[in-house]
Amino acid sequence: MLRSHKIALQPNNKQSTYFAKACGVARFAFNWGLAEWKRQYEAGEKPTEASLRRQLNLIKRDQFPWMLEVTKNAPQMAIIHLGQAFKNFFSGRAKYPTFKKKGVHDSFTLTNDQFAVSGKRIRIPNLGWVRMREALRFSGKIMSATISRKAGKWFVSITVDTEDVPPMSESQAIVGVDLGINRLATLSDGTMVTGAKPHKTLLKRLRRLSRSLSRKQKGSKNRAKAKQKLAKLHVRIANIRHDELHKLTTNLASQYGVIVIEDLNVKGMMTNHRLARAVGDMGFHEFRRQLEYKTAMRGGRVIVADRWFASSKACSDCGTKEEDMPLSIREWTCPECGTHHDRDLNAARNLMKLAVSSTATACGESVRPANTGAASTKQEFNVKATYV
């Protein structure tokens, strides 16, 4: 199993300069390869990733001697990534590749024969040992390493082919999970996770730094400093969100064998100017992505209910369906059985009963609802965010 561990680096000034040069070389090689690919294609030729790499190796010593100041992997891996981008484009998985810009997703990749890891250090070609904030978490065959910059800090993501897998989930319990913007998640057993909402909490600070940046003269050092402050705050918001989602999805995957969620139209929800900020602050797409791969690693299953399944409108006790229920209604009483429902909890219980009664429970397949089933035992989730 391939697993990656992203670790913060502690480079000195010389090492930081080397990283910046290597990122520049990788960016130049990618843009050169993209321009050459276009030129050759328009000339009636059939460019390939391998031919572009050979062509660059022939001319870089004479035309681009500054490329030799960094590891040879920087330009070569950039061309390989370009080839993969075109494969994704031709297969319909991605759009046509675009030119890279300086300061946007700066990174370069090393193959496993070009670096070594020892404790809390990593050896980079033509540079030497660089300190890491922590040791590599996984054991196994190291495949590659990607060094990247985010908000002025350097990180290394090391990919390892390891046999160390999380313990398999022995529980066969079923839980329904309803996602929302008032509460991040409501479980069918009654557990409610409020959500950190880091963007909403830090919005005032974000607006202040954004105004400060807009007042700075373009090209000035003060503008560069203000830009970095704003970038650090954005990274902090993203880190808080990811930390909460990782804790929640790990707990769910380890405690339940079958998890039922809704197929939310996140892209469509983001087009609603009244909901977009709150939806983005919760990270619904990232929640599903993490939950699916963590559940698969532990031998569990994720059932994705149909997008039009009436989880909120149907009574989880008697099955009576309300025709109209706007988002403003958070609680309602069933006119048939008289049961008083919390909207999100009722939806989570309907999702759980969908899995209990299903005949096809593979991830993403449609399932048939029913009106019977018992709630699982309540579990406690320690999900809490702090702000400094």
The string of pLDDT tens digits covering residues 276-314 is 999 999 999 999 999 999 998 888 889 888 888 878 778
Alpha-carbon gap, residue 230 to 236, rounded angstroms: 10
Determine phi and psi for 342, rounding to 5 degrees: -85, 130
- Please give the residue that has the higher pLDDT: either 235 or 309: 235
The sheet with strand 116-118 has its strands ordered as: 107-111, 141-150, 153-161, 2-10, 128-132, 121-124, 116-118
Domains and CATH numbers, the chain: 2-161 (no CATH), 174-356 (3.30.420)
* Band of pLDDT at residue 358, cut at 50, 70 and 90: low
pLDDT given at position 111: 93
Active-site annotation holds for 331: no
- Please give the residue that has the higher pLDDT: either 97 or 339: 97
Q: Which two tokens mark 237?
A: 């918001």
Determine phi and psi for 304, rounding to 5 degrees: -105, 110
Spot the catalytic one: 178, 189, 244, 292.
178
Q: Which two tokens mark 226?
A: 């203000």
Please answer whether residues 157 and 5 qualify as being in contact, where contact means their C-beta atoms are separated by less than 8 angstroms.
yes
Instruction: Report, as an integer, the average pLDDT of 83-89.
Output: 96
Q: What are the tens digits of pLDDT across the range 36-73?
A: 999 999 999 999 999 999 999 999 999 999 999 999 99
CA neighbours closer than 13 Å in the CB half-sphere of residue 73: 18
pLDDT given at position 99: 96
Residue 32 burial (10 A CB sphere; 0-12, 13-18, 19+): buried
E-strand stretches of the chain: 2-10, 107-111, 116-118, 121-124, 128-132, 141-150, 153-161, 174-179, 185-187, 192-193, 258-262, 301-305, 331-333, 340-342
Q: Which two tokens mark 319?
A: 């099955």
Please answer whether residues 48 and 25 qualify as being in contact, where contact means their C-beta atoms are separated by less than 8 angstroms.
no
Nearest to 70 by CA among 108, 116, 34: 108
Please state at what angle helix 13-42 crosses helix 49-63, rounded to 10 degrees. Answer: 120
- Residue 268: CB atoms within 10 A of its CB come to 10
In degrees, rounded to 5, the angle at the alpha carbon of residue 50 between the alpha carbons of residues 45 and 53 is: 100
Spot the catalytic one: 106, 189, 244, 262.
262
Active-site annotation holds for 262: yes
Active-site annotation holds for 106: no
Alpha-carbon gap, residue 85 to 236, rounded angstroms: 30
Average pLDDT taken over every residue of the chain = 86
Q: Which two tokens mark 57?
A: 């190796």
Instruction: Report, as an integer, the average pLDDT of 246-270.
Output: 90
In a 3-state reduction of DSSP, which class is residue 12? coil
CA neighbours closer than 13 Å in the CB half-sphere of residue 4: 10
Task: For tokens 């031709």, name the residue.
Answer: 90
Instruction: Report, as an integer, the average pLDDT of 118-128.
Output: 93
pLDDT at position 382 over 70: no
Residue 93 burial (10 A CB sphere; 0-12, 13-18, 19+): exposed
pLDDT given at position 244: 94
In degrees, rounded to 5, the angle at the alpha carbon of residue 196 between the alpha carbons of residues 257 and 297 is: 25
- Of 12-16, 98-102, 205-209, 268-272, minimum mean pLDDT range: 268-272
Spot the catalytic one: 106, 281, 292, 344.
344
Q: What are the tens digits of pLDDT across the range 151-181?
A: 999 999 999 998 877 777 767 788 889 898 8
- Please give the residue that has the higher pLDDT: either 58 or 319: 58
Alpha-carbon gap, residue 71 to 127, rounded angstroms: 9
Determine phi and psi for 111, rounding to 5 degrees: -80, 165
* Band of pLDDT at residue 381, cut at 50, 70 and 90: very low
